Structure formats: C-alpha cells, structure tokens
Chains A and B, each alone.
Chain A
Amino acid sequence: MGIIKYIKLYFRLVSAGVRAQMQYRFAFIMRIVGMITAYTGTAVTMWVMLYQFQQLGSWNFYEMLFLFAFSILSWGFCIILFFHFRSLDTYILNGTFDRFLVRPIHPFFHFMAMKFDVASFGQFIFSIFVFIWVSGVLDIGWNVEKFLFLIAATIGGVLIQGGLLVMISAIAFWTTKSEQFYWVAMYPARNLTYYPLVIYPKVIQWIIAFVIPFGFVNYFPVSVILDKDVPFFPSYIGYLSPLVGVIFFTIAYFIWMFGLNHYKSTGS
C-alpha cells in the first residue's frame, strides 16, 4: 500500500477513534480538567520552592516554568500519537492483539492508529498558557528561527518520549505484561525533566542525556531557546534534539518489530 493510502487510512482510523472516545463525554472532559489541575499543582510546588531559594542551579522560577511547560507540550502530542502503545500488554493478554496480525496492513501502523487520545487538550491548554505568560516575563526575543527550532525540538521530544513508550510496550512481547516498566522507566524519566538537569548528580545527567535521552526532550533545547549554560555538555547539544528523536524512535521501532517476531514464534 502506498504512503498516501496509509495517510488516508490513518485519518480514517483516527477519526473513528476520536468518535469512539467522544461516546464518553464526561470522562473526556474530566480527564482534561484533571490534567490541568495536576500540572498546575506541580507548577505551584515549584513556585513555593523557588520562593525560598529564588534560584535552582542558576534557573529562576519563570525559566523553570518554561522548561516544565515545554516537557508537557511534547508529552501532549506524544499522548495523542503513541499512548495506545501503553495498552499493548492488555491486548496481548486478552489475545486481542492477534486481530492486528490478520489484517492486510502494517501491524505497527494499525496498532498506533487505533487510538488517538484527544484528551491531551489539558496538556496543550496548560503549556500554551504558560508559554504566553512566561514569554512576557522573560526576555526570550522570539524570532522565526527560534520558533522553528521550538517546533523541531518539540517533534524531537515527541519522538523520544513516543520511542520510550514503544520500547516499553515491546517488552510485553516477551513478558506479556509491561505496565510495571512504565513506572520503572517512563514515569521517573519524565519527572526528572520537570527540573533543570544541572541540579542532578553528574551520573544522572549522563544517563538522561545518553541512555534514556530525555535531556533532549526539554533541558537541552530549552537551554538553547533561553540561552542558558549547560555545564558538562557542549553548548550546541540542544540543536541535536530532533536528530536524537529520529534515531531513538527508529531504534524503538526496530525493537518493537523484533518483539513482534518473537511473539510470532511463541504466541505467548
């Protein structure tokens, strides 16, 4: 099937997924409200902390807020596109995953297109509000280049976080359950990105840069946008974010396909 056909089919499947989700309006709205509340809570915590210290590793409250909002923005897109992978283990457990293997389209694509989680509006509302507010306070000096970089870095962040979701889901091909790994890898990695990496010990910074490259989700690119120093790392490292995203996601995809092949020979 050609790429155009796939794109058309993607939108068909996705719109079906959205309509299915809209069947449960109340749950949908509550999730948006819940997300905004939760993130605002984290932001307030930051404020309380910074009220005492004024600065955290040379980052002030508004800069940190920008860093936080940047992480939430790409996470919002990531949820829309890739969150369905988090339920892969349930499909495998129930035996419903086999359905994707008796259809004449690519299983990775098919699985990804089955759900389009529009409830991440909460993330968008929160992060866009914060961007506008903080841009007014900080002297960011927005121009076309910076804005394009923001978009490219967001794509990078989406691919990095999506890649990790895909990798974690692939574990289910071997172990049947993978939910725990979400809490072991995804949750802590995302939480680390809420604060500037510079405050962490060197080892953790190194892991977040090169093992689970969540530093590229927000810390490195935001340092470029806000013109901040990134100690221990080359100053251009933030620009690599989109590239790291593409590479990391590609690796994730191949791991997933490798897992699928394993599944096909064991059928766990």
Chain B
Amino acid sequence: MAIIEVEHLHKQFKVAKRETGIIGALKSIVNREFITKEAVKDISFSIEKGEMVGYIGPNGAGKSTTIKMLTGILVPSSGKVIVNGLVPYEDRQKNAKNIGVVFGQRTQLWWDLPTIESFELLKEIYRVPDSLYKKNMDIFCDILGLSEFLNTPVRQLSLGQRMRADIAASLLHDPPILFLDEPTIGLDVVAKEKMRTFIQEINREKNVTVILTTHDMEDIEKLCQRMVLIDHGQKVYDGDILTVKNRFGTSRTLIVDVEENGKELQVRGGELIKEEGNRKWIRFNRFEISASEIIHQITRTHNITDLTVEEPEIETIISKIYQEGFKEPVIQ
C-alpha cells in the first residue's frame, strides 16, 4: 500500500482584491472584495514507501500548499489525503510523529542556544526513547559531522552547518516520511553535495520516503527517480526524469573552438546562437541533424581545435514544459 495517497485534492483561498491608489485602498478597508484563488486543482498521486520524489513547479504553483496539506498544517477544500494511514488534518499531532519537516529557509532549532540543546528539546517534544536518541545522534554525527559544532549556538552556525543540523533534527524521531522544502537553498557547491549524499544515505539505510521541493534541478537529477511537476495548481507531469529529458530535450548545443581564417562559419540545419572570439555555440535539433553531420560541415571550412556537445539542462526543459504544456512529442 502506498505510504502517501492524494486523490482529487483541491484547495481554494479567498484572497482580498487589491485596489490601486489611495481611493482604492480606502475603499478596500470599508468594502473588501474577495476573489477565490485555486491554489491546488484536482491533484492526485500516490507515493510508495522508500521513494524519493521531486515535487516541483514555479513559484506560486501550489507546491507549499500541497506540502502543508500533507503535513496537516492546512485543511484541504476537498479531496482525500492519507499519509501513513492517517488523515493529516484530522490527526495532526499523530501525523507529526510520522513525518520530519525541513523548511530550508526557516530553522526549527533554538536560535540562541547551543545546537545540542535543540536536539535534547526535540527529544522531549517527540518523546524519543534514550536508546534511539543515542543511536540516531551517533549516525548523524558520523555522516553529517555534527560533533564539530554541537556546542556552538545555532545563530553562529554557517548556513551549511545549520542545514545539516536542521535535517538531523527532523529525523531524530525516526519518521518514515521526510518533507524537504528547498533543502539546498543558499548552500555552496560542497555543502549542497554533502546534503545530497546525506539524503541519499538516509533514504537507503532507513528506507525513508522523501518528498522534496526545490528550484535546484541538480537536486532532482541527483536524488530523485521520479518527479511530479505542477503548474498553476495542476499536475502537468508525473513520472521519471529520463522521459522528460527525452521528450523535451530535443535540442543540443555544439560548442566548437575554430581556427580563425577569415571565412564565415556557415552551418545548415543548425543555428549559430553565440560567438565569443574563436568559440562558437551552435544549436540544433537532434532529431533533424546529427552532431557529426554538423561537425563535418564545419571541418570543410575551418579547423576545429576543440569541441563539446551540451545537453539541455533540465531547468530549460522544465521551463519549456511550463510554457508549452506537456504534450505528446511529435517525433519519438
């Protein structure tokens, strides 16, 4: 049975209509008009135990609204949500024991106290048995390197350290489900990599189900086998990442360094999109022309000193889906 089940989930908000200008502002104090905004429209999905799912969409797509309904913070307008056998908004406190939540931008640690104190307080709040607490702390110290800053007040931690502490704090009570909201936001490359490795390790060793929202497509590519893509409150795609790449990643960019010889570089079937000295960027559709064909054309007029072919980043693919919608591809 699926650990998370969402069926025909809806959430509507009443939003006060904002009027412009001073008169509008005064008018809205006396007589506010409300418009109904549908933040989540008929979303359904189910997640199996141990899956790592990327839940993505542009700002305001309804990501955090969905997460809030899964964690029991918000009550849905209609539809069904079941998380680990419970309805989150009905059994919010029980559900809280089954989930770990990390909001990347907001810490759950006690800001002014040494880091270790937050863990001890959370141990009391979640009533984590001593043995489990010790076991988990050993694991977290080991793979997250917590021991080096356990006695430092949270406000003095670097962002990377704070995120590591936050994620450890959310896993202290061994929840079967972990919600990560922007877990790598603001981190440097090394810290991001550490964070991803840890998430993978936790998922593998404890079989924790992970739902991840992020704007960093590398997170998704490296961590998730599956992604659920939403836009304007609706699900646009649910499936593996490779399929998306194949369907939408039809364009390739060839980057060549050529010896300058006064001749103009002309490529049929490709488009010169950028030039920087000797380096040229040529975009082409891989279903219309092959890379070798383009290279062949160039070698007729120029000597190539170096070349690479770039795949489109998942980010560009996704923004393409947002713009065009997820349609069946013309060429398969």
Chain A residues with a Cβ under 8 A of chain B: 1, 5, 8-9, 12-13, 16, 19-21, 23-24, 94-96, 98-99, 101-106, 110, 264-267
Given A95-B106, A104-B126, 6 new contacts (CB under 8 A): A16-B110, A20-B112, A98-B73, A266-B14, A267-B13, A267-B74
Q: How far is the CA of A8 from the CA of B127 in the complex (A)?
A: 12
Within 8 Å CB of B74, what residues of A? 264-265, 267
CB distance from B133 to the nearest CB of A (A): 14
What residues on A are CB-neighbors of B68 within 8 Å? 98, 267
Decide if the interface of chain B is mainly helix, strand, loop or mixed: mixed
Residues of A within 8 A of B92 (CB): 101
CA distance A99 to B107 in the complex (A): 9
Interface SS, A side: helix
Q: Which residues of B contact A (CB under 8 A)?
A: 13-14, 65, 68, 71-75, 89, 92-94, 96-97, 99, 101, 103, 106, 108, 110-113, 117, 121, 124-127, 153
Q: Please name the residue on chain B nearest to A13 by beta carbon.
A: B121
Cβ-neighbour of A102 out of B72, B110, B127 (below 8 A): B72
In the complex, what's the smallest C-beta–C-beta distance from A229 to chain B, in angstroms?
45
Q: Which residues of A contact B89 (CB under 8 A)?
A: 264
Contacts of B73 in A (CB 8 A): 98, 101-102, 264, 267
Question: Contact: A16 with B93, CB < 8 Å?
Answer: no
Residues on B with C-beta less than 8 A from A9 are 124-125
Contact of A265 with B112 in the complex, beta carbons under 8 Å = no
CB <8 Å contact, B126 and A20: no
- Chain A residues in 8 Å Cβ range of B97: 104
A98 close to B121 (CB less than 8 A)? no
CB distance from B152 to the nearest CB of A (A): 13
Q: Tell me the bound Cα distance from A12 to B148 in angstroms.
A: 25
Q: Using Cβ atoms and an 8 Å threshold, which residues of chain A touch B94?
A: 104
Which residues of chain A are near B13, meaning CB under 8 Å? 266-267
Q: Check A23–B121 contact: CB distance below 8 A.
A: no
B135 to chain A, nearest CB (A): 20
How far is it, in angstroms, between the C-alpha of A124 and the C-alpha of B251 when the chains are bound?
A: 74
Q: Are A101 and B72 in contact (CB under 8 A)?
A: yes
Q: Let me know if B110 and A98 touch, CB within 8 A.
A: no
Residue of chain A at shortest CB distance from B73: A101
Q: How far apart are the CA atoms of A94 and B105 in the complex, in Å? A: 10
CB of A23 within 8 A of CB of B112, answer: yes
Whether A20 and B110, one on each chain, are in contact in the complex, defined by CB atoms closer than 8 angstroms, is yes
Question: Chain A nearest CB: distance from B220 CB in Å?
Answer: 23
Query: What are the residues of chain A within 8 A of B126 when measuring CB–CB?
Result: 103-104
Q: Are A105 and B125 CB-contacts (below 8 A) given A20-B113, A264-B89?
A: yes
In the assembly, what is the distance between CA of A163 and CA of B260, in Å?
81
Contact pick for B121, options A16, A95, A96, A266, CB 8 Å: A16
- Please, could you name 28 A-B residue pairs with CB atoms under 8 Å apart, sorted by A? A9-B124, A12-B121, A13-B124, A19-B112, A19-B113, A20-B110, A20-B112, A23-B113, A23-B153, A94-B106, A98-B68, A99-B106, A101-B72, A103-B93, A103-B96, A103-B125, A104-B127, A105-B93, A105-B125, A106-B93, A110-B125, A264-B89, A265-B75, A266-B13, A267-B13, A267-B65, A267-B68, A267-B73
Residues of B within 8 A of A110 (CB): 125
Shortest CB distance B318–A (Å)? 25
Q: In the assembly, what is the distance between CA of A99 and CA of B166, in Å? A: 12
The chain B residue sitting closest to A114, CB to CB, is: B110
Contacts of A19 in B (CB 8 A): 112-113, 117
